[in-house]
Amino acid sequence: MLLHIEQKALDYLRKNGHVLTIDYERTEGEGEDAGKAFPKIVLGKPENMDLFKLITPHDLQVYLNEELILENYGKTVKIAFEKNLFSKKLKMLEI
């Protein structure tokens, strides 16, 4: 069963200077994926907010085991919190 992350959880993070954002990281090197922008989840306070899209509760769904699934531009990104919703570190896996 999936649950929507609650606004108060995001408000808590923002109040403490932490926001969940999507950043677009360009790949380097050669080949088919060279120069493409891939979404990256960031927990923290970005320096230039214009380069980031703030994640809203509608962007995220929370598993009961505290894993997040984010659908973004056809890619599904699974984010596992190491401790809990207000944890400092995130682990990101593309699925």
Write down the pLDDT at residue 83: 38
Taking the CA atoms of the chain, what radius of gyration do you get in angstroms? 14
Backbone φ and ψ for 82, nearest 5 degrees, come out as -70, -35
For 78-95, write each residue's pLDDT tens digit. Answer: 444 433 443 334 444 443
- Where residue 75 falls among pLDDT bands split at 50, 70, 90? very low
For 25-38, write each residue's pLDDT tens digit. Answer: 555 666 666 665 55
Q: Is 45 left (phi over 0), alpha (psi -120 to 50) or beta?
A: beta
